Structure 1
Amino acid sequence: MGNNVFRENTEHEQEMLFSPLKDLSGRVRKKLQNHWSTHFYEHVFTQIDETKFGRLYHDGYSRPNKPVNELVSLEIIKHLLGMSDKELEHAYVFDFRVRNALGKETLGDNICEKTLTNFRRRLMKYEEETGQDLLHEVFEDHRTYFQREFEIDASTQRMDSTFIEANIKQLSRVDLLAKVLHNFLCDLPEEIVQELPAGMDEFADTENLELSYHLEPDEIPAEMETLAEHIAWLVERFRGEAEYAELESFAHLQRVLDEQCYRIPEFEDDNPEPDDQGHPGDESPGWQPLQTYTSPSESTATAGDGPDSESVDRDAEEKHDHVGLEESDEIGSESLQNPHDDEATYRSKNAEDYFGYKSNIAETCNGENPFRLITAVRVDTNNTDDGDLLGEDARNLAEETGLRELLVDGGYTHKEVEKCCRDQGITQHFTGITGQRPAAEKMSLAAPEWDGTRMVACPAGHEPFEQNHYETGRISGKMEKQFCDGCQHQENCFVNEQQEHYSYGFRERRVEVAQRRKRLDDPAEQEFLNLRAGVESLMNEMYHKDGEKTKFTGKIKVKNASIAKAMGRNLKRASGFLESEAKQEKSAG
Structure 2
Amino acid sequence: NITETCDPENDLQLVTKVQVAPNNIDDTKLLAEALPELKERTDLDTLYTDGGYGSPEMDEALAEEQVEQIQTAIRGRKPSSEKLHLSEFEIKQTEEGKPTQITCPQGQNVKVQSSSRKKSFVAHFDEERCRTCPYSSVCPAKPGKRDPRRHLRFTQAQANVAQRRRRSQIHLKEGRNLRAAVEATVRQVKHPFPAGKLPVRGQFRVTCMVIGSAAMSNIRRIQRYRAMKAAQNNEKRTEMKGKGTQAHPFLPSFLNVVHYFLDTFPFDNRLFIF
TM-score by length of 1: 0.35
Q: Which position in structure 1 is the counterpart of 2:92?
A: 451
Distance 1:466 1:411 in 2: 29
Note the C-alpha offset of 1:556: 1.1
- Partner of 1:397, secondary structure, is helix
Question: 1:279-318 maps to which residues of 2 (within 5 A)?
Answer: none
Counterpart residue identity of residue 567, structure 1: A
Distance 2:214 2:230 in 1: 24
Distance 1:366 1:558 in 2: 29
Q: Which position in structure 2 is the counterpart of 1:538?
A: 185
1:391 lines up with 2:32 in the alignment: yes
Counterpart residue identity of residue 543, structure 1: K
Distance 2:129 2:17 in 1: 52
Decide whether the 8 Å contact of 1:407 with 1:430 is kept in 2.
yes
Note the C-alpha offset of 1:497: 3.6
Decide whether the 8 Å contact of 1:410 with 1:430 is kept in 2.
yes
Distance 1:508 1:379 in 2: 31
1:438 lines up with 2:86 in the alignment: no
Note the C-alpha offset of 1:549: 2.2
Q: For the structure 1 residues 578 and 409, does the alpha-carbon distance in structure 2 shift closer, same or farther, using more than 3 Å as the test? A: same
Q: Which position in structure 1 is the counterpart of 2:209?
A: 561
Q: Which position in structure 2 is the counterpart of 1:428?
A: 69
1:491 lines up with 2:170 in the alignment: no
Q: Which position in structure 2 is the counterpart of 1:172?
A: none
Decide whether the 8 Å contact of 1:408 with 1:430 is kept in 2.
yes
Note the C-alpha offset of 1:496: 3.2
Q: For the structure 1 residues 410 and 526, does the alpha-carbon distance in structure 2 shift closer, same or farther, using more than 3 Å as the test? A: farther
Q: For the structure 1 residues 460 and 581, does the alpha-carbon distance in structure 2 shift closer, same or farther, using more than 3 Å as the test? A: closer
Q: Which position in structure 1 is the counterpart of 2:155?
A: 507
Note the C-alpha offset of 1:438: 1.3
Q: Which position in structure 1 is the counterpart of 2:120?
A: 474
Q: For the structure 1 residues 385 and 470, does the alpha-carbon distance in structure 2 shift closer, same or farther, using more than 3 Å as the test? A: farther
Distance 1:530 1:380 in 2: 26
Q: For the structure 1 residues 545 and 403, does the alpha-carbon distance in structure 2 shift closer, same or farther, using more than 3 Å as the test? A: same
Decide whether the 8 Å contact of 1:446 with 1:515 is kept in 2.
yes
Instruction: State the identity %.
Output: 29
Note the C-alpha offset of 1:515: 3.3
- Partner of 1:428, secondary structure, is strand
Gaps in structure 2 of 5+ consecutive residues: 94-98, 239-274
Distance 1:369 1:378 in 2: 24
Distance 2:132 2:232 in 1: 70
Distance 1:523 1:465 in 2: 26
Distance 1:414 1:554 in 2: 29
Question: 1:110-509 maps to which residues of 2 (within 5 A)?
Answer: 360-452=1-93, 453-459=99-105, 467-469=113-115, 474-479=120-125, 484=130, 488-501=134-147, 502-509=150-157
Q: For the structure 1 residues 362 and 471, does the alpha-carbon distance in structure 2 shift closer, same or farther, using more than 3 Å as the test? A: farther
Decide whether the 8 Å contact of 1:377 with 1:563 is kept in 2.
yes
Q: Which position in structure 2 is the counterpart of 1:7?
A: none
Which entry has the higher C-alpha Rg, 1 or 2? 1
Distance 1:497 1:517 in 2: 26
Gaps in structure 1 of 5+ consecutive residues: 1-359
Note the C-alpha offset of 1:362: 0.9
Decide whether the 8 Å contact of 2:71 with 2:167 is kept in 1.
no
- Partner of 1:503, secondary structure, is strand
Note the C-alpha offset of 1:384: 1.1
Q: For the structure 1 residues 473 and 542, does the alpha-carbon distance in structure 2 shift closer, same or farther, using more than 3 Å as the test? A: farther
TM-score by length of 2: 0.71
Note the C-alpha offset of 1:584: 4.5
Distance 1:573 1:465 in 2: 49
- Partner of 1:521, secondary structure, is helix
